[in-house]
Amino acid sequence: MQRYFVLLLCLVVIRATPQNYTVGDTSPDIQYGGAKLQCNASSCPPEFTEGAFNHSATLTTGSITFSFTGTAIYASLDLIGTCSIMLDDQEIQTLNLTVAHAIAGVRGNISKPDLANGFHTLVIMPTGNLTLIGFDHLVYTTGPPAKKSHVGAIVGGVIGGLILALGALFLALFVRRRKLIMRRNQRKNAVFRGIPAARHDHKAGEEDEATTELL
């Protein structure tokens, strides 16, 4: 039971730990709002996708939208032009990079680590003419449940686990006791069956001796 309880607590801790998830440019959860070109090893120079997540990146002149449930989101963009970063219909950042930045390897970074745990929508919106966005991937973080529900889940899980453990223990003891009773009854039956047989054999022996004397 103690091992089961420790395992249950470990599962609760793992569940409560924030988890990071990576979403690539080809994921169906990423919505593109304009013309796009999906670059991979066969459609673009290898230098463009080198080091990219899943060796793929998408070029677009339109918006990029992603919805998620969590507490943080991060992204890094190749960008020529200007774009606005919107989160839940609020502008949180503006990015403005030139061709010189792109040649030098400068990227536009998006970072929002302090979100309320819930549903959010990120929109990357081009705001300048001839803006080109190169999107590789983003990372979002899922947080633990709200404190109240989290405590309830722990208590409910622990109580449920203890009930299951106690039930299994009682079942094992019941089965063991039943087997012991059956074995005890079998031994008694064997003894009871053996006593008449022994008496019969003894009587038969006396009859044989009497017959021998008569002869």
The whole-model pTM stands at: 0.61
How is residue 203 annotated by DSSP?
H
Q: What is the pLDDT of residues 130-188, one digit of tens each?
A: 999 999 999 999 987 655 545 455 556 656 665 766 666 666 666 677 777 777 777 66
Residue 21's CB is within 10 A of a number of other CB atoms, namely: 11
In CATH terms, 18-143 corresponds, of 2.40.430.10, 3.40.50.300, 3.40.50.620, 2.60.120.260, to 2.60.120.260
* Tens of pLDDT, residues 26-38: 999 999 999 999 9
Q: Which residues contact residue 135 at a Cβ distance below 8 angstroms, ignoring those fewer than 6 apart?
A: 25, 30, 57, 58, 59, 60, 64, 75, 77, 78, 124
For residue 35, the one-letter residue type is A
